[in-house]
Structure 1
Amino acid sequence: MDLTPSLVSAARALAQIDLGQLAEISGLDTEALVRFEQGLSGLDNASLDALRKAIDHFGVEFLPAGDAGPGLRLKFNTQETGQLLNWEQEGGTPGENEVP
């Protein structure tokens, strides 16, 4: 599936993230993402791959194009996605797991 500006915008809306958050996780420049979403410029294959991985990181899954075209859905419900994002931002040092 081609990663289009409208799919990226829809993915951000589903995940409830802004361009800054997407830029941080994808490693791409915020301005490059703005221009891409506005359809003013494209991205190379490596950048598109990084963008797809970042969108996946936020719990958005791409659905194959069917009769209605490509689609998106959350891998987790909104509450679970919010909890995961909060846990990732808690910081601190990881503790040791004491699993028998």
Structure 2
Amino acid sequence: MDLTPSLVGAARALAKIDRERLAAKAGLEVGALAGFEDGLSDLDPAARDELLKAIEHFGVEFLPADDAGPGLRLKFNAQETGQLLGWEGEGGTPGEDEVP
């Protein structure tokens, strides 16, 4: 996986985490993460590996590149998937909303 600055920014947004939290999990200085994400500096391969592990820890899964390029998605474990399926049937019959 070629970890790019734009993928890191998108992953943080998807996981709803700030730079401080991601940097701490990856064992990086916030400034190093910010520099990488802003395209001003690079990270060594070991730091990139730790950053990738940290992003995956927060539930983001990297998708392989296809014709449109690489992608991201949130991954759910079996318990979360079961909860989502259960929630879909809750609430009864939908009614009309009076939203202007």
- Same fold by TM (over 0.5)? yes
Q: CA RMSD in A?
A: 1.2
Q: Distance in 2 between matches of 1:22 and 1:76?
A: 19
> What does the per-residue CA deviation read over 1:51-84, in whole Å, with 9 as the maximum and x for residues that have no partner?
000000000000000111000000029xx5xxxx
TM-score (norm 1): 0.75
- List runs of 5+ in structure 1 lacking aligned partners: 81-100
Matched residue SS, 1:28: coil
**Equivalent in the alignment of 1:47:** 47
**Equivalent in the alignment of 1:13:** 13
Report how far residue 33 of structure 1 moved.
0.4
Instruction: Work out whether 1:28 is the aligned partner of 2:28.
Output: yes
> What does the per-residue CA deviation read over 1:31-52, in whole Å, with 9 as the maximum and x for residues that have no partner?
0000001100000000000000
**Equivalent in the alignment of 1:72:** 72
**Runs of 4+ residues deviating >2 angstroms:** none
Matched residue SS, 1:72: strand
TM-score (norm 2): 0.75
- List runs of 5+ in structure 2 lacking aligned partners: 81-100
Specify the structure having the higher radius of gyration (Cα).
Answer: 2
